Structures are given as structure tokens and as C-alpha cells.
Amino acid sequence: MSLLKDSITLYNREMMIFRANIRSNFMRTAIFPIVLLVFFSFLGASISNIPVAIVNYANNMQSVQFINSLTSQSLMEIYAVTNSNQALQLLSNGQVDFVIEILPDFPAAPGTSSVQVYYNNVQLSVTSAILPAIQSDAAKFSGTSSVLMEPFAQLSSVNGNAASVATPVTGANGNYEDFLFSGVIGMILVFSALFGAGLSIMTDRQAGNIKSFLITPINKSAILLGRVGSSAVQAIFSIFIVIAIGLLLGNTIAMGIVGVFWIVVLGVLLAISMTSISLIIASRLKNLQAFQIFGQATALPLWFISGGLFPVTSFPQILQIISVFDPLTYAINGFRYVVLEGIYPLGSLITDITVLAVFAAVTTFISVKVFKSTID
């Protein structure tokens, strides 16, 4: 009971300090998303020479014009292939990223579809650049805008009569900006929790503040728990800043307001884990520089292998295995469903939240143990 009361007292202290420095806290949180989202998202825009295999079953003038038109763009590098099986083999081998099948009835009558596109949806930025290009060219030469698009991973029986354009599996707005957006939310949480909590407890210790708490009749763990609590609340503050910046820069959250709720749930759990890790490191080190180094060495790999910058599926096998043990992977996975796809499958939701909650509980427990054993 007194542990809870003491923790709340020290939580209030942390929040008062946080509010006293609100301007610098805001700047610190805002600067990374601005830089990353404005600057790095341009990286996704320079797409050229994407390998594309074309199977031309129509073999008429319009189909040749269609192929020439695609070739003339620097966007794609076209490989002519004689049959569909061969093309799909190339696709599954990863030698090409797209297969365009021009069906015999090209150009089709209005309302029917005579172009079939298969693609792998690993590289979202590529998919989102190429598909519209194919679609507009097909419309130009076939007189109809109907192109059947099949993500290769979800290849189903092709319905030749389908009139509508298949929705890309990447969701409402599958571009790299949104992909990065979800990664940046995770990154901000990791960096601000990992550096914030540890550094503040180390400067508190150097200034003598910790000693002044320890001479009062409080439970020692309250110093730590108050800090973890305030970190969790500050994480919500960070999340809203990043989301606001993202929305201002034109990013979208496919799931809307419900998505923001899930981001907050995942984000708070993540922030608790990272704060605890930070406090474990800070309890063991006495030197601010050493802490910086340890912090970087922890935060950067966590972020890189989490799939924050690139999809985990594009990693080498060994990193994919390691990423399973990175709690940030689960948070980013959730953010990505929410931001990109607009649906959060129940199975993933349960896995993500369970893993993060267990991780948060374990790290907090360890940090309390470690902190108790260090004498100040």
C-alpha cells in the first residue's frame, strides 16, 4: 500500500519535471519524426529498373504497343517470356518482381479484363509505384481500365471475368512513407524511453537527489516504479506527437481512431520494457558516457532488426530469426497492421500484446531487483 503511494508521489515528481521542461521534451520527441519522415521517405521515391516479366498471349498490334510503352519507362526492365508457368517460376525465384500476362482477348471489351498481373508484395514502395503505371498503360491500349492484380503470395484461381481491380494487399495507402511512419513511432518510443529514464536517474544520482529520497522512509522500489509509470505516460505524449506530425506530412492510419488506441496500448507496453532496460543499465553504470554507448548499442540493433526501416521478410535468414526475440518487432508488427492494412488480425493482436506485456513485466521485475541491490 505504501509502495503504491510512494510510487505515485515519485511519479508526480517525474511528471512535474517533465511539465517544467515541456518545450525541450516536445522538441526532442518531434525532431526525429520530422527528419525521418520528411527526409528518408524520399528514399522510397527513386524506383527504377524493376524486373518485370511479360507473357504476351494476344500478340497483336495493341499488345506490342502496350509492351513498348512499358519498356520506354525507366521504371521497369521488361523480360519477354513465352508462357505463364515460366514467368511465375521467375517470380517465385525472386528474379522478377512482377509478371504481366496479356490475355488472348486483349484489347478487351469494356467491362472485362484482359491483363493479369502477379506480384510479390515484399517491397511495398515498389508495388505502390509499379501497379498504377501498369494500370494506366493497360487502360491506354486496351480501352478498358480493368487489370486483374494478384499478390503472388495469395495466388488464387484466376477469374477471367473479374471486372474490378484487386485491392493491393498492402492496404489503403501502401507507400513507403506510411511504412516508415509506423517504424518511426516505434523508434521514438525506444529512443526516448531508453535514453530518457536512464540518463535522468544517473543525473539524479550524481546531483544527490536519489540520496535525498533514500533518507526518507519510502520503499526504495518506489523510486523506480514512479519512473516507469511516468515513462509510460510520456510515451503516450510521444505517440500523439509522432502521429500528429505524420498526419500533417500526409501519412494515414488505415485503421483510424481504433488504430490509435492499439498504437497506444502497444506503445505503452514497449515504453515500459525500454524504460526498465534503461534503468537496469543505469543502475550498473556510474558514467554518463558509458551509458550513452550502452544505450546506442542497445537501441540501434533493436530498431534495425525490428523491421522499422525495412520489412523483416527482406532480411537475411539469420536476422529474421533474431528479430523474433526483439520486442520491438512485435510492436512494429502491430503498428504496421494498424497503419498500413487497417485490420489487426486477432491472432497477431494476441501474440503482440502478450509478448510485449510479458517482456515489460520481466524487465520491470529485473530492474527492481537490480536497483535494490545497488547502494547509493
Partner 1 sequence: MPEHYIKISKLVKRFGDLVAVNDVDLAIEKGEIFGLLGPNGAGKTTIINMLLTLLTPTSGKIFINGMDISKNQEKAKQMMGLMTQETVVEADLTARQNLDLFAHLYHIPESQISNRVKEALDEAELQKFADVKAGTFSGGMQRRLGLVRAMIQEPPILVLDEPTTGLDVQNRNTMWGRLRNLNKEGTTILLTTQYLEEADELCDRLAIIDHGKIIALGTPSEIKRIAGSGKVLEIIVKPDDVSHVVSFLKSKFNLIANAKGDRITAALDKSIGTEFTKISAALDREHVEVLSIGAHLPTLDDVFMKLTGTGLRDTSGEMQGGRANIRWRR
- Residues binding partner 1 (CB under 8 A): 2, 5-6, 9-10, 12-13, 16-17, 20-21, 207-209, 211-218, 286, 375-376
Nearer residue to partner 1 within complex by CB, 5 or 372? 5
- CB of 291 vs partner 1, minimal distance in Å: 14
Nearer residue to partner 1 within complex by CB, 6 or 178? 6
What is the spatial distance between Cα 260 and Cα 245, in angstroms, rounded to a whole number? 14
Nearer residue to partner 1 within complex by CB, 213 or 291? 213
What is the spatial distance between Cα 240 and Cα 263, in angstroms, rounded to a whole number? 10
Question: What end-to-end distance do the CA atoms of the chain give, in Å?
Answer: 25
Nearer residue to partner 1 within complex by CB, 218 or 279? 218
What's the DSSP call for residue 154? G
Sign of torsion, CA 168 150 161 114? positive
Nearer residue to partner 1 within complex by CB, 5 or 369? 5
- CB of 188 vs partner 1, minimal distance in Å: 23
What's the DSSP call for residue 83? S
Nearer residue to partner 1 within complex by CB, 318 or 375? 375
67-68-72 Cα angle (round to 5): 120
- CB of 245 vs partner 1, minimal distance in Å: 26
What is the spatial distance between Cα 355 and Cα 315, in angstroms, rounded to a whole number? 22
Helices 257-284, 288-304: axis angle to 10 degrees equals 140
Nearer residue to partner 1 within complex by CB, 136 or 212? 212
Identify the bridge partners of residue 100 per DSSP, sorted by sequence position.
54, 117
Sign of torsion, CA 352 178 173 73? negative
- CB of 286 vs partner 1, minimal distance in Å: 6
Cβ density class 311-323: b for 16+ within 10 Å, e for less: ebeebeeebeeeb
- CB of 376 vs partner 1, minimal distance in Å: 7
- CB of 193 vs partner 1, minimal distance in Å: 19
Residue labelled with grid coordinates 527492481: 368
- CB of 195 vs partner 1, minimal distance in Å: 18
What is the spatial distance between Cα 197 and Cα 207, in angstroms, rounded to a whole number? 15
φ, ψ of residue 147 in degrees (nearest 5): -125, 130
Nearer residue to partner 1 within complex by CB, 12 or 136? 12
- CB of 224 vs partner 1, minimal distance in Å: 15
